[in-house]
Amino acid sequence: MVVANNKSNQRQPRALSPGWRCAFRSMAAGVAAALLSIGLSACGGGAIKPASMDITLLGFNDFHGNLEPPRQAVVAKNAQGQSVAVPAGGAAYLAQAVAERRAASRHVAVVTAGDMIGASPIVSSLFLDEPTIEALNLMKVDFAATGNHEYDQGADELLRMQNGGCKKFTSKEPCQLSKPFKGAAFQYLAANTIREDGKPLFPSTGVKFFEQDGLRIGVGFIGMTLKNTPHMVRPSGVKGLRFTAEVLTANVLIPQLRAQGADVIVVLVHEGGSTTSSLQDHSCQGLSGDIVPILEQLSAEVDVVISGHTHRAYLCDYAKVNPKKPFLLTSGGLYGTLLTEVKLTVDARTRRVSQKSASQNIVQGEAYTGSAGVVALQPDFPVFGADADVAQLVARYKAAAQPLAAMPVGRLAAAALRMPHSNGESVVGRMVADSILAATQDGAAGGAQLAFMNSGGVRADLVPDASGQVTYGQLFSVQPFGNTLMVMSLTGEQIRQVLEQQFNSGTNTVDAPRILQVSQGFGYRFDRSQNAGQRVSDIRLNGRPLDMAQTYRVGLQSYLGTGGDNFSIFMQGTEVVGGMLDVDALVEHVRAQSRAAPMALPLQERIARVY
């Protein structure tokens, strides 16, 4: 049974059953020891209440609508102790992994830690992520925290994901295949997403109860997203919402969960970190990131924290970091490549967790060919079959998207990767910035002289086929958000301040900067060892130093233009002109650059890193 609300649901004392009354009479007759030794009552053979209950949590995060195998590999040690790349992911294989691990345990809850939708490939995004919700329904997910990307299309559209229906809240048509779209069978939890009326957008908590031979244990879940969501989503996506501090929200809710009958406390939070530990290592070695200060303030009553957001995989016995905080911390990487399995033993007498452990299941389903060649199946790791129902669902949506996704756009001279270099640039990032400039530099389109692109908005590699061809679907995967282009006027000094904000603005820090991708003809140097406000130098446009007093026309997309990723200076821009969709600009750029020959990749650095 699942309960998902904020109301008290206290456990009431129960009268002794006839079986127990009979057992006590038997004890009086002097046969109690024998009965206990064989685990039976004297009347009717009913089982005695167990001393403990084993419960399994299956969790994953940052799925991002990757219904098809995402051409990703998980690095793990094989039986010979060698590091190998294990091909992983795909909704049908993930569903089968969930089903098999569910079958291995008597009491199971399936939960997610945010970003199930948003920034999705075309097979999901073209249909407003309805197929991803339907796939999660088939996996029988119980509870899901919201991530920042759940808010990409706004609160009304997210509510439609929960409740179903075909009301239109975006530029895309809902219910193209599912008529009507039924919504999520699982419950979104959003404890720290607060509406204007002061109430959470979704329930704050949920409880799932398990029963075994008269023993009833409740597992309580608190679902939250990161408090910095407003800085990561366009303003329209979080209009009318505010996001409270994660740790304060969680700690306040624990007594309420206890009152609802929760014996185990689990936090699902879309915030994370990283470790230097190997895949199955619980040591927490090198744990860092924004999750750490949350954990340090989190109540010790929490048993498990299932996290996300950073796209990293880790298992962490946090007691090794802070003995006063003996909870498990987990994250399952990204795109459904891993299924985290948490095992809990709950003592029947104390009604508290007495043992806990966690492991990662690699969702190996099929081999793929990437930029480095074939990534073959690894026989030392389980290979999951494809769940028939989910495979059929994915095939249905893939067929509907295929005509657009398969449309050839142009040819590339080689694979263009999104992996950032040491200076923060990537080849695909430069391509996207160049496409923005190309689409906005005409006077009628705004007259841009340079362009910026946020690195986080570049979502996929571009790997051409044997003939060098790339398709619309591939380009869509690079730019899946549906942002529009814009051009604004900024002074040279404001541009300099934007560049400084890469290292010192909100979550942008000197240790974790958000390096903007820049268009051809623009460049600068940065030195992180310098003081704040003095880290950027030698800013040049087309070979000439940028004039701090002169006004320049800057091209970008609407996410940055409205202050996304903590680049608030862009909101000071004037004479703003709107433009086309960002993916359309990329399509036109690749097509134009590859008419005569395969497009040469922008390999030359534009940003010089000193330190």
370-390, pLDDT tens digit by residue? 777 899 999 999 999 999 999
9 pLDDT band, cuts 50/70/90, is very low
Q: Which of 46-60, 154-168, 560-574 has the highest mean pLDDT?
A: 154-168
Q: What is the pLDDT of residue 32?
A: 40
Rounded CA-CA distance 516/513 in Å is 9
pLDDT digits (tens, 9 = 90+) for 269-282: 999 999 999 999 99
Pairing assessment for the beta strands 551-557 and 328-332 based on DSSP bridges: unpaired
**What is the model's pLDDT at position 34?**
38
Rounded average pLDDT over 292-315:
97
Cis peptide before 180 (omega within 30 of 0): yes
Model confidence at 8: pLDDT above 80: no
Mean pLDDT of the 281-308 span: 96
- Please determine, for residue 209, whether its predicted confidence score (pLDDT) is greater than 50: yes
Give the pLDDT of residue 3. 52
Which residues on adjacent β-strands are paired with residue 353?
Answer: 346
Q: Regarding beta strands 108-112 and 353-362, do their DSSP bridges make them parallel or antiparallel, or are they unpaired?
A: unpaired
Q: For residue 187, give the amino acid letter.
A: Q
Containing 86, the helix (H) or strand (E) segment is: strand 83-88
Task: Tell me: pLDDT of 27 over 80.
Answer: no
* pLDDT tens string 446-503: 999 999 999 999 999 999 999 999 999 999 999 988 888 999 999 999 999 999 999 9
Q: What are 7's two structure tokens?
A: 């109301």
- Residue 395: exposure state from Cβ atoms within 10 A (0-12, 13-18, ≥19): middle
* Cβ–Cβ < 8 Å for 555, 450: yes
* Spatial CA neighbour of 440 closest among 538, 554, 282: 554
| Confidence category of residue 139, pLDDT binned at 50, 70, 90 | very high
Q: Average pLDDT of 247-255?
A: 97
Angle in degrees, CA 509, 512, 514, rounded to 5: 85
DSSP one-letter string for 184-201: -SSEEE-TTEEETTSSBS
pLDDT(293) > 90: yes
Strand (E) or helix (H) holding 67: none
On average, the pLDDT of the chain sits at 91
Phi and psi at 34, nearest 5°, equal: -65, -40
Q: How sure is the predictor about 4, in pLDDT bands with cuts at 50, 70 and 90?
A: low
CA-wise closest residue to 74 among 314, 306, 277, 279: 279
Whole-model pTM? 0.81
pLDDT greater at residue 12 or residue 524: 524
- Evaluate if residue 29 carries a pLDDT over 80: no
Going by C-alpha positions, the residue among 151, 186, 352, 143 that lies closest to residue 254 is 352
Over the stretch 30-65, which tens digit does the pLDDT of each residue have? 434 333 333 444 344 456 889 999 999 999 999 999
pLDDT of amino acid 421: 97
Q: What is the pLDDT of residues 85-118, one digit of tens each?
A: 999 999 999 999 999 999 999 999 999 999 999 9
The whole-angstrom distance between residue 419's C-alpha and the CA centroid of its chain comes to 18
- 517-540 burial, b at 16+ Cβ within 10 Å, e below that, comes to bbbbbbbbebeeeeeeeebbeebe
Weakest mean pLDDT among 1-10, 19-28, 182-191, 283-292: 19-28
More confident residue, 391 or 23: 391
Confidence of residue 234 (pLDDT cuts 50, 70, 90): confident
Mean pLDDT, residues 145-168 taken together: 96
Q: CA 246 to CA 224: how far, in whole Å?
A: 7
What pLDDT does residue 578 have? 83
Q: To the nearest whole percent, how much of the chain has pLDDT over 90?
A: 84
Q: Which residue has the higher pLDDT, 156 or 119?
A: 156
Pair of tokens at residue 15: 């009268």
pLDDT score for 117:
96
